[in-house]
Amino acid sequence: MGVAVDEPLVDALLAVAPAAPETPELAQALEPAPLRKRGARTVPEWIREAEQMARGCASLDDLTAALSEFNGSPLKASCENTVVYDGTPGASLMVIGEGPGAEEDRRGKPFVGRAGQLLDKMLAAIGRSRTENTLISNVNYWRPPGNRNPEVDELAVCRPFVDRMIEISRPKLIVAAGGIPAVSLLSSREGIMKLRGNEYAYKTPGGYSVPLIPMLHPAYLLRRPQDKSRAWRDLLLIEKRLGELE
């Protein structure tokens, strides 16, 4: 791609002992949500309730409160916490991952486990931090059993809240960390290896438009450090675009 790779820096970024990934990657396209019953309601009925609740939110605090009351995901009953966001509200960069793992569920914050430690190192390499200039969230707010992939309807009932968070936060750039958020947000049939390293236009139902760049999930890099040069190129693109957008 014509980009020099700073091997010592990339090695430092990946200086976290490999472990089983906390959030598996999605390699295939997502199909439309099936018409299923959840209690007395169908999934489309839960989605409509989510849309109504999300529209009524004017702040991230409102959104967090709404999600604490929302019962449209079957995952919620088995979780310790609803994991909504961490970082800096109103930041120019928003990172959207897949969903909480065990440590995230326990602590109630996204990306705080081993993959989250690596994400923090990656962001620091381009001058970004959740404590100063980055907002971090997920496309799913509750941990699936055994850290399996979230199902299509589980993502669908969360989507109105994801879009509303984007509209409230108004980031200048979104990074979709991993295959599941990239494929879900872009409604793509391509996998993360084809999507990453490119910029896409994302528009919420409320009309907010923002560039979106997919990148490899930190958990993927923990199990495949040989792809660290791809991750570095992703970071360089993100850094370049933020410099142009800010």
Q: Which amino acid is at 177?
A: A
Phi-psi region of 155 (alpha: psi -120 to 50; beta: other; left: phi over 0): alpha
pLDDT at 19: 44
| pLDDT tens, residue by residue, 85-115 | 999 999 999 999 999 999 999 999 999 999 9
CATH number at residue 222: 3.40.470.10
pLDDT above 90 covers a percentage of the chain that reads: 83
Strands 41-42 and 37-38 come out as antiparallel
Q: Is 5 a domain residue?
A: no
pLDDT at 21: 41
Rounded CA gap, 21 and 61, in Å?
30
Q: Is 27 a domain residue?
A: no
Q: Is 11 a domain residue?
A: no
| pLDDT tens, residue by residue, 39-57 | 668 999 999 999 999 999 9
- Tell me what the mean pLDDT of segment 125-141 comes to: 97
Q: Is 12 a domain residue?
A: no
Q: Is 6 a domain residue?
A: no
Q: How many domains does the chain have?
A: 1
pLDDT at 41: 85
pLDDT at 121: 96
pLDDT at 124 over 70: yes
Q: Is 20 a domain residue?
A: no
Range of the domain at 238: 36-245
Q: Is 178 a domain residue?
A: yes
Q: Is 41 a domain residue?
A: yes
Return the SS3 of 175. strand
| pLDDT tens, residue by residue, 2-23 | 444 455 555 555 555 444 444 4
Residue 87: its H or E element = strand 85-87
CB of 217 closer than 8 Å to CB of 67? no
| pLDDT tens, residue by residue, 188-232 | 999 999 999 999 999 999 999 999 999 999 999 999 999 999 999
List all residues 6 or more positions away from 2 whose beta carbon is below 8 Å from its beta carbon.
none
